[in-house]
Structure 1
Amino acid sequence: MPERVLAYVGLGSNLQTPEQQLRQALDELARIPRTRLVAQSGLYRNPPMGPVAQPDFVNAAAALETQLPALELLDELQAIEQAHGRVRIERWGPRTLDLDLLLYGDHSIEEPRLRVPHPGLHERPFVLYPLAEIAPELTLPGHGTLSGCLARCSPGSLERIESHG
């Protein structure tokens, strides 16, 4: 039987009712084969990282216990994005749904399609703060403890807009 791995996913949306996009995506994460949704954060609003001529993003984080290999899990995440009408046109551009595989257990992965830990994870408040809500004791491979990363990362304009529940 394949090992069970605790994986963390970052969710983001800034098009077509972002809060609803994330709530629906969380339901869909819970239906991935051989995977169980074990925790989800509240929702957070923040300004876009890339081009500023776009709406604010809504972000969240989820913890998944999975038996899927990392690339199969990535395929499942991308299938959910596509079902939400995700189109990859512009880096850091607006999107209906963005699902990033942030961490896959304590593995470090360097593949053409996947880098884990997710690049920039340790310095992005819209990822760190939702993650801290569901896994405050987490260690980020190569970057130390989540609490240490938070201490070096101001929340800036990040605003919690909805609690999980």
Structure 2
Amino acid sequence: MGSNLGNKRHFIESAISALRNEKKISVKRISSIIETIPIGNVHQPDFLNCIVECDTEMSSHELMQTLLNIEKKLGRERNEKWGPRTIDLDILFFDDEITDTEVLKIPHPEIMNRPFILQLMNELAPEFLHPKLNQTMEQLYDQN
């Protein structure tokens, strides 16, 4: 998750609380919160980012809808691709699922283009195997 508008830490903490309040989601672990520079050509403030590991009874599509609802409650507006946002919630992985639909792509297609994701995934779950690349987070982080 990430935030680069307003009280960024508050939005991160609020999103984590919202996840914890969902009956079908169990928050397991949370990575460090780090500051990262924006990606894309849009001039905007730096981000705070972290990764949250959850267990859920939901399908990946149900989880995505839940994340979109949390974003909306926290004031997320989708005016500009890669633009500033109060909160951005993505599904990076969903066990070993591979999904490629218009609304949901798992694993997240930008993982290899965002070194901070590999850094935080290596911190949280170094032995987790990327289902498409068949390499652990530690291996991918070390290569990057």
Partner residue in 2 for 1:100: 90
Partner residue in 2 for 1:157: none
* TM-score, structure 1 normalization: 0.83
Unaligned runs of 5+ in 1: 1-10, 154-165
Unaligned runs of 5+ in 2: none
Contact kept in structure 1, 2:42 and 2:82, CA below 8 Å: no
Greater relative contact order structure (CA < 8 Å, 6+ sep) = 1
1:78-108 CA deviation, whole Å, 9 max, x = no partner? 0010011111111111100000011011010
Moved over 6 A (4+): none
Partner residue in 2 for 1:152: 143
State the secondary structure of the residue aligned to 1:98: coil
State the secondary structure of the residue aligned to 2:5: coil
Contact kept in structure 2, 1:43 and 1:59, CA below 8 Å: yes
Partner residue in 2 for 1:84: 74
State the secondary structure of the residue aligned to 1:64: strand
Larger mean Cα displacement after TM superposition, 142-151 or 68-77: 142-151
State the secondary structure of the residue aligned to 2:93: strand
* TM-score, structure 2 normalization: 0.94
Partner residue in 2 for 1:6: none
Contact kept in structure 2, 1:104 and 1:116, CA below 8 Å: yes
| Corresponding letter in the other structure for 2:137 | L
1:118-142 CA deviation, whole Å, 9 max, x = no partner? 0021331221112222211111111
CA–CA separation in structure 2 for the residues paired with 1:103 and 1:130? 13
More helix by share: 2
CA–CA separation in structure 1 for the residues paired with 2:143 and 2:21? 35
Aligned in 2, Cα 1:68/1:49: closer, same or farther, shift over 3 Å?
same
